[in-house]
Amino acid sequence: MSTRFPIRFDWKDLELILALAETGSIAAAAQRNHLVASAVSKRLSDLEQQFGAALVERHARGVRLTPAGEALRARAVHLLDEAHRLQGELQDYASGVTGHVRLFANISAIVEFLPRALAAFRDTYPGIRVELQEQVSADVAQAVRAGVADLGIVSELPHMPDLTFTPFRQDELQLVVPAGHPLAAREQLPFTAALDYPLVGLHANSTLHVRLTREAAQAGRELRPLVQVTSFDAVCAMVAAGLGVGVVPRAATTPYVQSLGLTGLTLSDDWAHRQLCLCTRADTVLSPATHQLFTHLQQTSETATG
């Protein structure tokens, strides 16, 4: 068991560290935090004495953080963000909210499945506030693991012993091509057939980009998107403009495909049918509000597949 020491710094100290990192000046940091420079110097000296390490080093143009100061700055960003979230959550409770859930999900889940599911949840539990944030699946899992998210929705992740994955929905990937494209007459094809044409893809950190890169490599090819964007509707728009072909979820992009006059082709690859999962920490009991949302999403999944 680690030794716990009494905490002798406060939120203002953390705000000062961030201000020093951003401004490089004690005077500017003092002005930003409505203090005099001597007060900032005193707080800084007290912190350094408490930690037994220098947090800043002075130079001709001001100050810069030491490695210890950088470590404190990195933690301060997270701690202050959590403090602001907590303040907002408590203010929600004061205004009549009965629960708060931080839900992180990948873009496929957000576009395809969550709008109706969350609208129905709000109607059933009007007092529970759901804070939804889009992240790639790997970052969703990390947020759940770190306690930043209460619940996540991910796809295609390796086994992680500290997380529990519960099947949620399945989505189907398709290849979209512009009208008149040489592939447009084919009803079904493998993804590798698309590698002979310019590709419009998602950003490099997305789960789908990683999957397509892996599939191309297994076929002895290199995935080199001509254009990379951040959303599926943008992929469709770029394909409609003639910049290439793209892989997108069928259910999420049908309206764009139809309105832009694109052709959606079925991919014959097994991986084109993806399993989305609800992600929770294996060692944590869900809060009542999180448990209610988890159960609601499970039930909507069962209804959709039943």
Indicate which CATH number applies to the domain containing 35: 1.10.10.10
170-209: per-residue pLDDT in tens? 889 999 999 899 999 998 999 999 999 999 998 887 888 8
Quick one: pLDDT at residue 114? 93
Q: Average pLDDT, whole number, for the chain?
A: 87
Same domain, 140 and 203: no
Report, as an integer, the average pLDDT of 85-112.
78
Same domain, 134 and 208: no
Q: Which of 68, 90, 112 is the last residue of a domain?
A: 90
For the chain, give me the number of helices (H) and strands (E)?
11, 12
Distance (Å, whole) CA 5 – CA 187: 66
Quick one: pLDDT at residue 305? 56
Q: Reduced to 3 states, what is the DSSP secondary structure of residue 253? A: helix
Report, as an integer, the average pLDDT of 115-129.
92
Structural domain boundaries, residue 257: 170-273
Same domain, 175 and 259: yes
Q: Is residue 5 part of a domain?
A: no
* % of the chain beyond a pLDDT of 90: 43
Same domain, 86 and 19: yes
Distance (Å, whole) CA 200 – CA 221: 16
Quick one: pLDDT at residue 86? 72
Confidence of residue 154 (pLDDT cuts 50, 70, 90): very high
Q: Is residue 6 part of a domain?
A: no
Same domain, 235 and 301: no
- Strands (E) across 41-162 are located at 56-59, 62-65, 99-105, 128-134, 151-155
Within 13 A of 255's CA, how many CA atoms are on the CB side?
6
Predicted TM-score (pTM) of the model is 0.64
Distances (CA, A) of 218 to 189, 210, 221: 17, 12, 7
Q: Is residue 293 part of a domain?
A: yes
213-272: per-residue pLDDT in tens? 999 999 999 998 999 998 888 999 999 999 999 999 988 788 888 899 999 999 999 999
Confidence of residue 276 (pLDDT cuts 50, 70, 90): very high
Q: Is residue 106 part of a domain?
A: yes
Quick one: pLDDT at residue 262? 94
Same domain, 38 and 153: no
16-67: per-residue pLDDT in tens? 888 888 999 999 988 988 889 898 899 888 888 888 888 888 888 888 899 9
Question: What would the two tokens of residue 249 be?
Answer: 């979820």
Same domain, 31 and 59: yes
Report, as an integer, the average pLDDT of 276-284.
92
Spatial CA neighbour of 260 closest among 172, 200, 203? 200
Confidence of residue 1 (pLDDT cuts 50, 70, 90): very low
Q: How many domains does the chain have?
A: 3
| pLDDT surpasses 90 at 160 | no
Distance (Å, whole) CA 106 – CA 19: 33
Same domain, 177 and 249: yes
Q: Which of 74, 90, 106 is the last residue of a domain?
A: 90
Same domain, 79 and 137: no
Residues 89, 81 contacting (CB under 8 angstroms)? no
Question: What would the two tokens of residue 7 be?
Answer: 């905490």
Lowest mean pLDDT among 44-58, 78-92, 107-121, 221-235: 78-92
Q: What are the residues whose beta carbons fall under 8 Å from the beta carbon of 241, sequence distance 6 or more?
A: none
Distance (Å, whole) CA 34 – CA 71: 25
Same domain, 123 and 247: no
Residues 255, 112 contacting (CB under 8 angstroms)? no
